[in-house]
């Protein structure tokens, strides 16, 4: 059981953890008295176990993430060394780009066969479109977050980049729902266009709900306010990204 507990090293000794129930700061999640005696710390605010997930297997945490558990979001974002978000972001980028590429290729079916190198180049264009898409979400949310919390700076007048890293992790976790695009790519030929549209609509709806939940956790904002922030972000992003996509497809495809 101790193997699943987060390790506190010299670089994380000063780090404050978070109670997954109420979001209050806690200095530590457990105390080790011996190799076989470990006591889990309770939160001083809500008097509940600060982080029950330190005893759970990763698969259970993943299930709770899929179920949009705010406690699971707090555990992953604040109480673990979530260092794989860059690799996970890359996998999600390739997955979403491949789905978009397949969709665009089907739109060219009436035009005729395209040369192989043009089709491959189209995949890279889709990757670039998704990179711009996620970058726009990051920039817009960062501007909104700065506006909401004020211009928080360190004593040396440098930005506290931990907030930016946390926002990157937030976007990555919100994008986990896009793994549900896999059935669209696998069983595309065995369903109708209406069925594909319904599936895509459900995936995007789940993605939106996930984004609202995880953003409300990070900002300590109500889901109602987080809903309007996310909707506004996607409206601005959709407008700007639409202009960029049109330019790329007009000049490079």
* 107 shares a domain with 29: no
Distance of CA 217 to the CA centre of its chain: 12
Q: Which domain holds residue 90?
A: 85-252
* 235 shares a domain with 160: yes
Boundary of a domain, candidates 12, 46, 78? 78
Summarised one tens digit per residue, pLDDT across range 19-77 is 898 888 888 888 877 766 778 888 888 888 888 888 888 888 888 988 999 999 999 88
Residue, of 87 and 205, whose pLDDT is higher: 205
SS3 call for 184: helix
Looking at residue 251, its pLDDT comes to: 67
* 182 shares a domain with 100: yes
* 95 shares a domain with 18: no
Answer whether 0.85 is exceeded by the pTM: no
Per the CB < 8 A criterion, the answer to whether 175 and 203 are in contact is: no
Q: How many domains does the chain have?
A: 2
> How far from 40 is each of 20, 51, 144, 218, CA to CA, in Å?
13, 8, 37, 24
Integer Rg of the chain from CA: 21
Specify the DSSP class assigned to residue 177.
G
């Amino acid at each position: 059981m101790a193997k699943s507990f987060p390790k506190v090293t010299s670089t994380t000794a000063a780090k404050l953890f978070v109670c997954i129930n109420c979001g209050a700061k806690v200095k530590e999640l457990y105390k080790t008295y011996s190799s076989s005696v470990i006591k889990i710390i309770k939160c001083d605010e809500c008097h509940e176990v600060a982080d029950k997930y330190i005893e759970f297997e990763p698969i259970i945490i993943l299930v709770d993430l899929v179920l949009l558990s705010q406690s699971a979001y707090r555990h992953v974002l604040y109480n673990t060394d979530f260092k794989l978000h860059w690799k996970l972001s890359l996998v999600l980028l390739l997955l979403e780009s491949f789905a978009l590429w397949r969709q665009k290729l089907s739109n060219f079916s009436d035009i005729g066969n395209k040369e192989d190198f043009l089709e491959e180049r189209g995949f890279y264009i889709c990757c670039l479109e998704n990179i711009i898409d996620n970058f726009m979400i990051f920039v817009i949310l960062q501007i909104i977050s700065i506006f909401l919390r004020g211009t928080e700076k360190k004593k040396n007048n440098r930005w506290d980049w931990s907030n930016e890293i946390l926002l990157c992790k937030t976007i990555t976790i919100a994008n986990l729902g896009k793994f549900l695009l896999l059935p669209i790519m696998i069983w595309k030929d065995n369903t109708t266009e209406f069925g594909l549209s319904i599936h895509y609509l459900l995936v995007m709806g789940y993605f939106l709900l996930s984004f609202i939940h995880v953003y409300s956790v990070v900002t300590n904002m109500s889901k109602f306010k987080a809903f309007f922030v996310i909707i506004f972000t996607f409206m601005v992003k959709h407008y700007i990204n639409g202009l960029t996509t049109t330019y790329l497809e007009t000049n490079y495809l």
